[in-house]
Structure 1
Amino acid sequence: MSPTLPIHDVLDDIRDALEAGPSAVIQAPPGAGKTTGVPLALLEAPFLAGQKIVMLEPRRLAARASATRMAEMLGEQVGKTVGYRIRMEKKTSEATRIEVVTEGILTRMIQSDPELSGIGLVIFDEFHERNLNSDLGLALTLECQGVLRDDLRILIMSATLDAAPAAALLGDAPVITSEGRAFPVTTCHLPLKEPTPTRRDIEAACARAVARGLAEEEGDMLVFLPGAGEIRRVEERLRKMDLPPQTDLYPLFGALTKADQDKAIKPSPAGRRKVVLATAIAETSLTIDGVTLVVDAGLMRVSRFSPGSGMGRLVTLPVSKASADQRRGRAGRTAPGTCYRLWSEARTTTLTPFTAPEILSADLAPLVLELALWGVTDPAELTWLDVPPEGSCAQARDVLQKLGALDEKGRITAHGKAMTRPGVHPRLAHMILMAKEKKAGPEACLLAALLTERDPLTGGRNETDIRLRMEAMMQKGSRGQTLNPGAAARIRETSRQLSARLGVKGAAKDPALAGRLVSLAFPDRIAMARPGRPGHFQMASGGGAVIHESDPLAFEPFVAVADLDGNRQNARVYLAAPLTMEALEADHGHRIAAEEKVFWNEKKGRVEAVTRRSLGAVILSEKPLKKPDAGAVTDALIQGIQSRGLSVLPWNKTTRSLQARVLFLRNHAGFDELPDLSETALETSAPQWLAPFLIGITSMGALSKMDLAGALTALIPYAWHRKIDRMAPTHMAIPSGTRIPLDYGTGEPPVLAARIQQLFGLTETPKVADGRIHVTCHLLSPASRPMQVTRDLSSFWTNTYPEVKKELKARYPKHPWPDDPLTAVATNRAKPKGRG
């Protein structure tokens, strides 16, 4: 190893730390040489005792490239002392001492050999990327070290990770820092239209920045874009531009073939300049010699999963500050450089410090299944840098139980163990295993590969039908579509490997099986067309799905959805296939529920009863139920009443008066043995007190027939039936001989409203509730207008009446206004009887 690499200065410290203890953390910036330098330097360390080193890389390209580079440094072919093992590719031998793998491979290694026999050191490189597999791999490796192998060493290496939490996780492991080496990088901001530039704005700005860089700067160029689609479109723009003739354009993303990836990584020939259009795959691990200019669109694509919807997909987000710094640093690895950032300098301060760990937002079904295979039903039993969220774990357990991978206690089943073998998402593994039993294994392996790899079709991508892809891969004609050779090659190889792992024989022949196969993998996404709304579907999960009306699948009665966005109400469908009712019955008959359903139809305002066959939220068929259970009908009606409120009941003056008088006696007179007839209490207890009086009623319109007075009276203790009339009378006799109604409002002390002349001679304020509560007297003018409110008539006659009399006598001269109202005769008329 070249002694000029910065990591060389701390290699002795790393060896000493691992000799003295089981774990260590290395913090070194990109370009320090840690990826290739550290494994080679530790190969002959005494603590290894001839055992192997396994180094994990988060990306397949980085794993292959770092292994190849280390082999070159030893003067060997890759596969001898240094080898690699990634998905779909392996180059190792009996002589291999350093094996570079991707994290999913490590999980398989631990699951098949929990002691990691023959392995002395596990290195987690670029751990700051924190993908789901790296966190799972570390948790399992820590378990192995703590329970089975106290001699196993663990080394975490990172460029940007906050080292303290990782060191604490490893039992306060020592942290070794390499300062690295970087040449100065000039940052130039080329901000886009704010605040929300479109995809076209971003791609056009990237192309302009590339052209500017080729004109103003020297050296090769690395352009960071969020995904393969953006890379292809920017590449197309650039090829139409008048670029210098010595310029070579190379895309770089994970789905490319090895040969195409190698072209992007290799140094440019003399006299040539290259522009590498890359995803975040080029942020770390890889060194692309000759790059002195970086163009950063400031975007990244990450996986987001919603436990609420059970859906998720890749989303495009602004990069973190750490990622932006990583990208900028790529321009200064071998010489001074320049970084064009397609955002304003001020926006840099708004970037999140680090990219959030995938474990906090990803679909956790693969992780939960691996933990169950390990024997763990509660993730909290293991040691994590971030414990998997319980909501996402619960969602994952539910999916796995529906697929038959876990039992009711969350323990792995025989079927679940078989699902871990193919190395694909549990849904796809389940699909292949079930399809194999149905003699459709080849088609299932091809479909799993299609859903795992990049879409192979290069034209007409708006159509969602998976059968188009299967037809094209089977060379049965692709309806005007053309295949991307690289993507097609990867799909064929993935399909071949899946077939080999599971003993599937033969070639895929029938694309018409696509719908059945997708429904096996995604039973919760079996969807039925909504009547009268082309392209709108109801999924078994309860969510809605939408296919554009221009798509032929929009008019299918049933579809099985493989890919869609996370909108629970109207998720946009990206990939699906038609499904027949016959296939539904054959493959999912055990899940179809037949039930008698009595429910409240809010739109129609009535109870409906049907015999229904359903698959989750998808109603396959229903017909009216002739003799529904009476109790169920009443319960449904009460639900309707509660949803609309008790005002829909046939209230009248009598029932409202009874309610108010009982509430008055209970709340103000202290008779708490009386029931609470408040709106809240009545609505809450409606199932108990209303049910006996709703027999035979099925709609809101028929509620007028119910005996509401009888229902309320039934709540009142029998001993109070007559006492209420005595203690809270509806009317009260006054001196004029008239019976005046008492107003109890909504349960307040009653109000007696009478004209002043009607109360002449009444010396004391009337009382109710056996003399406990005074009524409130509203004293009115002869025109029944309010003049005075009092609960003390005696005081009114003595102190207030003389002044009121003057005003009333002037206004109403034909009415009697005696000087002494206490001895005057009460009257309802203008003049007392018998006086002229």
Structure 2
Amino acid sequence: MQWGLGLHSVNPIDTHDLPVADCLPAILEGVSASKPVVLKAPPGAGKTTLVPLALMQSGAAIEGQILLIQPRRLAARAAAIRLSEIVGSPLGQTVGYHVRFDRRACADTQILVLTTGMLLRRLTDDPLLESVGCVILDEFHERSLELDLSLGMIERVRTTLRPELKLVVMSATLDAEPLVKFFAQSDLAAVAVESQGREYPVDVQYAPSLAQQPIDERVIDVLPRILRQTRGHVLVFLPGVGEIRRVHRAIERHAFASECLVCELYGEMSSSDQDAVVRVSNKRKVILSTNVAETSVTIPGVTAVIDSGMARVMTFRPQVGMPRLTLQPISQASAEQRAGRAGRTEPGICVRLWPQAAHRSRRENDCPEIEQADFSSAALLLAAWGERDTFAFPWLTPPSRQSVEQAARLLLRMDAINEGVYLTSIGKRMSKLPLHPRIARFMIAAEDSNVPMQDAAIAAALLSERSPLANRSATRDLIDQIDAMKRFIDGDKRGDLLVSAAKQVSRVAKQLLRTMRKKDTGKATPTALSKAFLAAYPDRVTKRREASSGKGVMVGGRGVEFQGQNGVSDLCVCMDVDDKGTDAIARIALPIEPSWLCEHLMKRADQHVYDPSREAVIARRREYYDDLLLNESPIQCEPSEAVAALLYEAIYPKRMELIGAANREAFEFFVRSNLLARWMPDLDLPRLDDEAADQVLRDFCQTRTSINQLRSAPWLAIFKSKFDYGQLQQFERFAPQRLTVPSGNSIRIEYSDSSPPSIAVRIQELFGWTRTPTIAGGKVAIQLHLLGPNHRPQQITDDLESFWKNTYVSVRKDLRRRYPKHHWPEDPLSAKATHNGLKPKGP
């Protein structure tokens, strides 16, 4: 018996055995009318095979090449091989493919299978896809960010410049309604087509008792029973290559391994190894696969599935500022897809290695990657494509404003774009590398700094992948880690490296070397590496808080603790940061020099603050890298708008006290002018109210930096300048500053907003006055504070006549006894006033 359906050269195409064949007329009709077509068909229905071939054979008004887009390299190669064998032409002729590091196509290729990454790169090089007649986006239900970008870019081209460009979107599980609404924004409504597929029942079982065991033990516990109960291939879904290898080794230790052929299937395999997995075999296969076999690759003859329930998903890791594969439980929808692989040709079995209760708590569907992904790669690609406004781009699911703004800030800091969102020369070089922007910027900077490419590739891989250190808490110098990885690559497996993690770092480093197309030898210097990493991590520059301190502050204000790196210099760049607790933990940090910092991120700012102890505004010159304070030094404070605002704010609550303390005459003049304007409005004199004083204060602040300077300002002169000569004469006449009393002394009149004008005068100085003196043309009486010889008030009155008549007698009696040398006449109205209060001398 042969396990599998086999591949046969068929020309013309026999479409009757595949369920999607029934949908072809509707698809061709929609494409011929230049309407976007949305096809929903389950895995195995034949959409990847039949749709591009039917479009090629029918014509469907397609002028140009048909691009079939696959999210994964493995699926792209497999689809191209399958299509070329059906067509009956060598691979690379009628049907070809183009994936990263591998291209087989020619000028006559009619169907070209691309990964999403290659499509996006082609769109940046050829924005109009001028030689393309139709684009088919397959497996769109995966909703990767690259797929969303591809959809938006093609829709922009199709609706603006190339309405004849055909578009088909194919999905296994995605709800078609959002896509139909998306296309409804253009003139032609989309055609939605659904194929029911052909599936046999699958007995889904759970293994709750195995949930806590290591994954290889769980698979080994279930696999023998599955082999006994079924007769087809067994497909085992595992999270990644490491788990595949462990399970493979575990199977080989058991007797039942001789009954089957154990195969591995994952995206990084060579094309020949991948082809062997789907090739017809006379022996049962146990296929250990990542999630590439979930929908992207159909393996004939599978009747049983063992599902670990886990997958490695690309998620943004704040620790390293880049996406990284993380282990996550799959959704219920993905679990259903995996189970369905067992029911393509006959009834099957699926064993889920987790409890049924836990299954119900899993999320129903996978979220679009755009909702949680790092947006910097997309932002760089859109800038290279010429998109200036990310939010005007036709998104099926728009990115968050925060993710877009964070990406733009990072690209600006890396000098990849300018403020107008145009690529710089560095940005253009970065956009040509199929790498995350940080890695691209690092590799370019390393190349420019003559860092050996092998060392640079290993350094970048150490950051982008799981640490190979057996003891991560014992953080080692990056140079030491590079040297350890070079020994590992050369075959020395001794040391404290985790073999599986080190192998992954080695694989990524080799890919980076292939990308750069440059290999050199030598040893990287710490200085050159630090400069290169600074270019890639401009947002991770950190300044030590204090000398010999194990803590620092990073761009953005985040606190950082240097784990095991007390020797780090005062300024460093942190690449691997564990953002937990109050302060982030920096696991990898390299020293840098201030002179290395990018000039376009450096800024100098003079800061002014009011110092209450000095009663003055002081100035400091601050040097920043981005928002990180590097240096601060005192400078001479000069008057300015900013200084005036600070000084005014500091003095405003006590501005009247300032005027009074600075110049008593000025303050009295201010108060007198207010009172006179109130008492005699008919004079129409200028009024020095609070608003006027406030304006004078503001004007003085413009040319001063301290309160002491304000105190010495010419307040009185400014106040008087508001009056002309005649008005000043009236002012002094009706609100005099002093009053001459009978003794001949000139006594200062005290003016106040809250009490009557007053003078403090000894009783003896008023002898001979019969009535209370007045001002303001007789409208306002002066309040008299009558003092005794001890200069204390004996009486306060605004009725002098009443005082002489009713109170003086008793006051005289008391004071005459206490102060006999002073003059106390019985008749004060006829007595002569004395300026010192003593009895007059003479006969």
1:174 to 2:191 alignment: yes
Question: How big is the shift at 1:243?
Answer: 4.9
Taking the TM superposition and a 5 Å limit, the aligned residue runs for 1:311-710 are: 313-440=324-451, 442=453, 446=457, 450=461, 466-467=478-479, 470-471=482-483, 480=495, 481=497, 487=504, 490-491=507-508, 494-500=511-517, 506-507=520-521, 509-510=523-524, 512=526, 513-527=528-542, 538-544=553-559, 549=564, 556-557=568-569, 560-564=573-577, 567=580, 569-571=582-584, 576=588, 578-582=589-593, 585-588=595-598, 591=601, 615-616=625-626
Per-residue CA deviation, residues 394-432 of structure 1 (Å, 9 max, x unaligned), is 111111111222222333334333321122222233333
Question: How big is the shift at 1:445?
Answer: 6.2
1:141 to 2:154 alignment: yes
SS where residue 325 of structure 1 aligns?
helix
> 2:259 is matched with which residue?
246
Match of 2:206 among 186, 189, 200: 189
1:313·1:565 contact (CA, 8 Å) conserved in 2? no
Change (3 A) 1:634 1:379: closer
1:307·1:391 contact (CA, 8 Å) conserved in 2? no
Change (3 A) 1:317 1:435: closer
Change (3 A) 1:377 1:544: same
Partners of 1:469 and 1:526 in 2: how far apart?
Answer: 21
Partners of 2:300 and 2:586 in 1: how far apart?
Answer: 42
Match of 2:304 among 289, 293, 297: 293
Partners of 2:525 and 2:228 in 1: how far apart?
Answer: 51
Question: How big is the shift at 1:127?
Answer: 0.3
Pick which of 48-57 and 526-535 moved more: 526-535
1:126 to 2:139 alignment: yes
2:39·2:192 contact (CA, 8 Å) conserved in 1? yes
> 2:729 is matched with which residue?
none
2:63·2:132 contact (CA, 8 Å) conserved in 1? no
Amino acid at match of 2:420: K
1:34 to 2:51 alignment: no
Question: How big is the shift at 1:598?
Answer: 8.1
> 1:94 is matched with which residue?
107
Pick which of 474-483 and 438-447 moved more: 474-483
1:282 to 2:315 alignment: no
1:456·1:483 contact (CA, 8 Å) conserved in 2? no
Question: How big is the shift at 1:105?
Answer: 1.3
Match of 1:18 among 31, 52, 68: 31
Amino acid at match of 2:557: G
Change (3 A) 1:232 1:561: farther
1:456·1:487 contact (CA, 8 Å) conserved in 2? no
Change (3 A) 1:258 1:482: farther
Per-residue CA deviation, residues 347-393 of structure 1 (Å, 9 max, x unaligned), is 44443332111112111112122222333222232322111221111
1:188·1:341 contact (CA, 8 Å) conserved in 2? yes
Partners of 1:331 and 1:236 in 2: how far apart?
Answer: 24
Partners of 2:752 and 2:303 in 1: how far apart?
Answer: 96
Per-residue CA deviation, residues 479-512 of structure 1 (Å, 9 max, x unaligned), is 7358779757754653344334xxx685564264
1:309·1:568 contact (CA, 8 Å) conserved in 2? no
Larger-Rg structure: 2
Match of 2:76 among 48, 60, 63: 63
Change (3 A) 1:116 1:248: same
Partners of 2:320 and 2:504 in 1: how far apart?
Answer: 30
Amino acid at match of 1:300: A
SS where residue 57 of structure 2 aligns?
coil
Partners of 2:283 and 2:243 in 1: how far apart?
Answer: 28
Partners of 1:370 and 1:127 in 2: how far apart?
Answer: 20
**Gaps in structure 2 of 5+ consecutive residues:** 1-12, 612-616, 651-689, 691-700, 710-750, 757-843
Partners of 2:548 and 2:102 in 1: how far apart?
Answer: 47
1:163 to 2:180 alignment: no
SS where residue 292 of structure 1 aligns?
strand
Amino acid at match of 1:123: I
Amino acid at match of 1:162: D
1:466·1:514 contact (CA, 8 Å) conserved in 2? no
Partners of 2:141 and 2:178 in 1: how far apart?
Answer: 12
Question: How big is the shift at 1:253?
Answer: 2.9
Amino acid at match of 2:596: A
Pick which of 221-230 and 171-180 moved more: 221-230
Change (3 A) 1:466 1:122: farther
Match of 2:282 among 262, 270, 293: 270
Partners of 2:480 and 2:61 in 1: how far apart?
Answer: 53
> 1:85 is matched with which residue?
98
Aligned length: 632
Instruction: State the TM-score, normalizing by the size of structure 2.
Output: 0.65
Amino acid at match of 1:84: Y
Amino acid at match of 1:184: P
**Gaps in structure 1 of 5+ consecutive residues:** 602-606, 640-674, 676-687, 697-717, 724-836
Change (3 A) 1:7 1:129: same
Change (3 A) 1:9 1:399: same
Partners of 1:365 and 1:86 in 2: how far apart?
Answer: 22
Match of 2:234 among 221, 232, 256: 221
Instruction: State the TM-score, normalizing by the size of structure 1.
Output: 0.66
Change (3 A) 1:334 1:595: same
Per-residue CA deviation, residues 566-593 of structure 1 (Å, 9 max, x unaligned), is 658555667x4x52334x5335466455
2:322·2:438 contact (CA, 8 Å) conserved in 1? no
Amino acid at match of 1:133: E
Partners of 1:264 and 1:554 in 2: how far apart?
Answer: 52
Change (3 A) 1:464 1:87: farther
1:298·1:318 contact (CA, 8 Å) conserved in 2? yes
Question: How big is the shift at 1:597?
Answer: 6.9
Question: How big is the shift at 1:176?
Answer: 1.5
SS where residue 367 of structure 2 aligns?
coil
SS where residue 312 of structure 2 aligns?
strand
Amino acid at match of 1:524: D
SS where residue 384 of structure 1 aligns?
coil
Identity rate, percent: 33
SS where residue 395 of structure 2 aligns?
coil
2:333·2:366 contact (CA, 8 Å) conserved in 1? yes
1:27·1:160 contact (CA, 8 Å) conserved in 2? yes
Partners of 2:644 and 2:243 in 1: how far apart?
Answer: 58
1:66·1:285 contact (CA, 8 Å) conserved in 2? no
- Cα RMSD, aligned residues only: 4.4
SS where residue 579 of structure 1 aligns?
strand
1:28·1:178 contact (CA, 8 Å) conserved in 2? yes
Question: How big is the shift at 1:21?
Answer: 3.0
Partners of 1:208 and 1:599 in 2: how far apart?
Answer: 72
